[in-house]
Structure 1
């Protein structure tokens, strides 16, 4: 038997709900109650049609070989707390991450189980701002003057749970779109051209207070009714057993 590691994951985009006010955000500090949960749903659809059916609509079939990345989620909050760490890179290794910018990283393995490898993955969810968020935050590391730290999502319920947010995830970015009126349209005297502006707020490697500052700085839901959250999530490296003859 030989073990081959692979790091290919399919990203899942799911919808959830977010609220307007600080109290209605549904974001709470760390308590002793922790209820890890899991979520998994992924289909890879492939279209096929015969060579002579140039204009035929290709039927959709399910690929049984598709990989569900949620199978590899670290669904243990205590384990996630042992793995998360903050790292710095002296080089710009990503377009949106300048050199010497803190980023969430993971220990590659734990001494008690060196055969299990871990990796950080990005998960993006779209959130409608109706009702409470349903997230409980836990400051794993903090207390610095610059606000740098590690804040994990400790518990989820309601909208966050429905969106697929998991205990052990960490908020990395919040993105939203606002509409701005531009010049008057030439078609009628009453219509105005509308432009859209995308705002991105970074909350990766923030302590609890700094994370809450980002959440409470959002425009009211009357202005922004949908948010896009980028989460950092821990997963194990997939291992495939292959028989070599």
Structure 2
């Protein structure tokens, strides 16, 4: 770990995470957390409530080699060690350029000949460009774009605007490589307006939902409590945790006979009654509403997503409602 404090021309400095504990949590912008927690949908809560404590961040960051897929280019990306409890979130933040970016950096891993490493933000310099932005201690800068604009004036009114843009990648770079990449951006030119757009990686705890399951009295089984991640399908999550779900008394919506449709949303064998916490589920679609129109508390577990909107909280549901 590097603790020496060095100032360079961009006001990027090496420091320690403890130097910036007062950095406020900002409002996350253009968040794409649902790419990580698929199914959770757009966030409806302030995701900063899930930020990791500063003292645990250093031990969680890691670098991951990713093979080329339809969603990702091949490369080395930031990851986290405790995947079941933590995820890497990504957001963009934009702010006007001043003399320098005003970001203090700390190298957690580096010293390689290929310039790979893990570098995180350890603080924001007062008066720097990033002061007041969403960037905070423990974040890692994955990419920096510089947008330069100049408005031409004709007859005392704007007639056109010229824009130029430069982008440098800094994900999984050492401290020196990160500074070098940012320094490669063009210097300030009088008469132009510059803005930084920074792609930020941030570690957050995975939102959890505690689900209390109640069985029909005749089954003579005690209530069970399971913990599920936001974005999990209720039926699948229950089955993988060993919960008995399929109701033998349920009739299919299409044939009016018995039979498991295999999560097709037709048989109603996975129907549950939501006693509390229904706001933690996604809204019903038209077909599900039609099938369960006679019970406002009913949901098809195969069509229900817990923690929708990146929420966490507690739910109580009754399993096999036809047996109650």
**TM-score range with shorter-chain normalisation?**
0.5 to 0.7
The corresponding residue for 2:10 is 25
Quickly say closer, same or farther: Cα 1:232–1:208, change in 2 above 3 A: same
Offset of residue 106 of structure 1: 0.7
Count, aligned residues: 186
- The one of 167, 177, 183 aligned to 2:147: 177
Q: Larger Cα Rg: Structure 1 or Structure 2? A: 2
Q: Kindly provide the CA deviation profile for residues 15-48 of structure 1, in whole angstroms up to 9, marking residues without a partner as x.
A: xxxxxxx8453211124742323324479xxxxx
The corresponding residue for 1:39 is 25
Q: What is the CA–CA distance in structure 2 between the aligned matches of 1:129 and 1:229, rounded to whole Å? A: 12
CA contact (8 A) 1:75 1:168 kept: no
Quickly say closer, same or farther: Cα 1:202–1:149, change in 2 above 3 A: same
SS for the counterpart of 2:91 is strand
SS for the counterpart of 1:79 is helix
Offset of residue 212 of structure 1: 0.5
Quickly say closer, same or farther: Cα 1:82–1:88, change in 2 above 3 A: same
- The one of 59, 64, 87 aligned to 1:87: 64
Quickly say closer, same or farther: Cα 1:216–1:28, change in 2 above 3 A: same
Q: What is the CA–CA distance in structure 2 between the aligned matches of 1:144 and 1:219, rounded to whole Å? A: 27
SS for the counterpart of 2:132 is helix
The question of 1:154 aligning with 2:131 is answered no
The question of 1:167 aligning with 2:137 is answered yes
- The one of 156, 159, 179 aligned to 1:212: 179
SS for the counterpart of 2:94 is strand
* Coordinate RMSD, CA, aligned: 3.2
Q: What is the CA–CA distance in structure 1 between the aligned matches of 2:28 and 2:57, rounded to whole Å? A: 23
The corresponding residue for 2:170 is 203
CA contact (8 A) 2:13 2:104 kept: yes
- Stretches of structure 2 that go unaligned for 5 or more consecutive residues are 1-6, 30-42, 151-158, 209-311, 319-324
